[in-house]
Amino acid sequence: MTSNPRQVAFLALQEFYQHHAYGDVALERILQNYPTEAKDRHLASELVYGILRRKRTLDSLINQLGTKKASSQPLPLRIILQIGLYQLRYLEKIPPFAAVDTSVELAKANGLGKLAPVVNAILRNYIRKSSTQEPLVLPTDRIAHLGVKYSFPDWIVSLFQKQFGGSLTEELLQWFNQTPTIDIRVNILLTTREKLQETLQEEGIETETIPYLPQALRIKSPAGNLAETSLFKSGWFTIQDGSAQLVTHFLNPQPGEIVIDACAAPGGKTTHMAELMGDRGKIIAVEYHPQRLAKIQENVQRLGLTSVEIHQGDSRHLNQWEGMADRVLIDVPCSGLGILHRNPDIRWLRKPQQIQHLTELQGQLLENCSKWVKKGGILVYSTCTLNQAENEAIILRFLQSHPQWQWETKNDELCQISWLLSEKKGRTESMVTILPPLHHLDGFFMAKLRKGD
C-alpha cells in the first residue's frame, strides 16, 4: 500500500502500455488498491492524463537527451523518464530538484536501482539545456513538426490539416491538450438553472452559464467528485458536456411524441429528451452492450423519469419500430476525434485503419434506423468526431440514395444554433460542426433530416 502519487501514475501508465487499457480505467483500478489523499489523487491524475497527452513530445525529448530511443528503453524506465520530464516541462509548481529526486527514487523503488543514474543524467541534461535554449528540437516536416510539438500521431495531424488548413489545425491541437472543463445539465423537471447555481454556490461550487444552452452550467472552481454530491444523487443535475446537450436540443423532442435513441448508453441524451418532453410521451432507449444497460437504468431512476423504455439489441438489425417514431437520434459509435482532450489515450489507441470499419457501421445504423421514422418525422445523426468521412460523407451518401429524405431546418427556439452554423453548401440550419477552439465546447457533428410524406 502506498499513497505516493508518482507510484500510482507509474502503475497506471504500465497498464496503458502493456494492456492498452484506457487511462481513466487504469487509474481508477490502481487508486482502488492504493488509497490516496485528495491532493495526491489530483497529482496522480495530472501525471497520467498529462503524460498520455504529451507522450510523443516526451518520447522525442528522451530520444534527444539520452543515448537510446524511448522505444528501445525498458518500459519501466521509459515511464519513469516520462514522469520526470513531464514535471520539469509542464508542472511549474514542482521544483526541478524535486522532479529529479522523486524520479530517481521511483526507479529504485521499482527494481531499477542500476538505472537510477540514467534517470538522473537525462533529467539533469534537460534542466541544463533548458536554462539556455528550448531543449526540444522539432522536425522540419510540417506534419511531423506539429505532431511532435503538440504530441499527436501524424495521421491525425494530416487529417485535420487536409480538412481545416494549417491555422485551425494548430488551434485544434492546442485545444486538445487542455485540461477539459466540466459541464452539467440541470434537471428542469426538479429545479431551475438559477436555483441549482445558487445551491451549488452555497456548497462552495462556482459555476457559470453557457451561452445558448438553457440547461447548462460550467464548473469554474475545483468541485471534487460531483457524482458523490447529494444534489447529483437526488437528480438535480447530470454531468454532460454542452455539445452533447446541444444534440438533444437540435433533435427538439416534443411532449407526447415517440422518440428512439438508437445508441443510448450511458443515457445522457435519453434522459435529456425526457426532460425536454416533460417526461410525457415514450422514449425507447436502445443499447447493444448488455453491460451498459445498467448505466441507462441508473440515470433514468436517479432523475425520477418514467417515460423511458430500455431495450438491449443491435440497432442495425431491429425492425419492430418501423414507421413508428416521431423522432430518432442516432449518436453513432465514432473515432472520438472531437473529444481528444477528454480522452487523451484515443490519439494513441485509435488507428487510421479502424476508420473504414467505423464508417461501415455508421452507414448501417443510419440505413436501418431511418426506417423507424414515420412520414414527416425527424432524424438526427450525431458524432463526437471531426472526421468528415464519418460525418458529412455519411449523410451526403445517404441522401443521394434516399430521395424521400430532405434537410430539416426548423430548430429549437430556446437553443438558437446560428452562432455555430456550418456554411457547407448553404445547408446551414441542417448540418452543424462544433469546433472546440471557436465554440469552447467538445468537437461534435450533427445533421438533421426530415422524412418526406
Question: Residue 422: its pLDDT value, please?
Answer: 46
Both 67 and 208 in one domain: the answer is no
Burial class (CB in 10 A: 0-12, 13-18, 19+), 317: exposed
- Residue 413: pLDDT band by 50, 70, 90 thresholds? low
CATH number, domain of 444, equals: 3.40.50.150
Cβ–Cβ under 8 Å, residues 119 and 105: no
Q: What average pLDDT does the segment 372-377 reach? A: 98
Both 261 and 324 in one domain: the answer is yes
- Residue 238: pLDDT band by 50, 70, 90 thresholds? very high
% of the chain residues with pLDDT over 70: 95
List C-alpha distances in Å: 123 to 11, 86, 93, 104, 239.
Answer: 20, 10, 17, 10, 39
Domain boundary among 137, 161, 196: 137
Both 301 and 372 in one domain: the answer is yes
Q: Which three cell numbers stand for residue 218?
A: 460550467
pLDDT tens column, 88-147: 999 999 999 999 999 999 999 999 999 999 999 999 999 999 999 999 999 999 999 999
Prior bond of 266 cis (ω within 30°): yes
Both 171 and 317 in one domain: the answer is no
pLDDT tens column, 201-220: 999 999 999 988 999 999 99
Whole-angstrom distance, CA of residue 344 vs CA of residue 337? 10
pLDDT tens column, 79-90: 999 999 999 999
Q: What average pLDDT does the segment 404-427 reach? A: 62
Catalytic machinery residues: 384
Q: What average pLDDT does the segment 172-190 reach? A: 97
Both 166 and 307 in one domain: the answer is no
Top-confidence residue, 140 or 225: 140
Both 58 and 131 in one domain: the answer is yes
Q: How many CA atoms lie within 13 A of 289 on its CB side?
A: 11
CATH number, domain of 126, equals: 1.10.940.10
Most distant pair of Cα atoms in the chain: their distance:
76
Question: Residue 374: its pLDDT value, please?
Answer: 98
Centroid of chain to Cα 440: 13
Q: What average pLDDT does the segment 351-376 reach? A: 98
- Residue 418: pLDDT band by 50, 70, 90 thresholds? low
pLDDT tens column, 296-331: 999 999 999 999 999 999 999 999 999 999 999 999
Burial class (CB in 10 A: 0-12, 13-18, 19+), 204: exposed
Residue 419 clears pLDDT 60, i.e. is over it = no
Both 74 and 120 in one domain: the answer is yes
Domain boundary among 198, 222, 239: 239
- Residue 424: pLDDT band by 50, 70, 90 thresholds? very low
Question: Residue 224: its pLDDT value, please?
Answer: 80
Question: Residue 427: its pLDDT value, please?
Answer: 43
Both 16 and 40 in one domain: the answer is yes
pTM: 0.93
Range of the domain at 60: 5-137
Residue 179 clears pLDDT 60, i.e. is over it = yes
Question: Residue 411: its pLDDT value, please?
Answer: 66
| Mean pLDDT of all residues belonging to the chain | 94
Both 117 and 16 in one domain: the answer is yes
Buried b (16+ CB within 10 A) or exposed e, 253-274: beeebbbbbbbbbbbbbbbbbb
Closest CA to 384 of 263, 211, 252, 204: 263
Question: Residue 420: its pLDDT value, please?
Answer: 55
pLDDT tens column, 26-74: 999 998 888 778 889 999 999 999 999 999 999 999 999 999 999 999 9
Both 221 and 171 in one domain: the answer is no
CATH number, domain of 223, equals: 3.30.70.1170
Domain boundary among 81, 109, 137: 137
Q: Which residues pair with 433 in a beta bridge?
A: 445
Residue 1 clears pLDDT 50, i.e. is over it = no
Q: What average pLDDT does the segment 404-419 reach? A: 70
Whole-angstrom distance, CA of residue 177 vs CA of residue 281? 42
Q: What average pLDDT does the segment 149-162 reach? A: 98
Q: Which amino acid is at 314?
A: D
Both 49 and 155 in one domain: the answer is no
Both 87 and 131 in one domain: the answer is yes
Domain count along the chain: 4
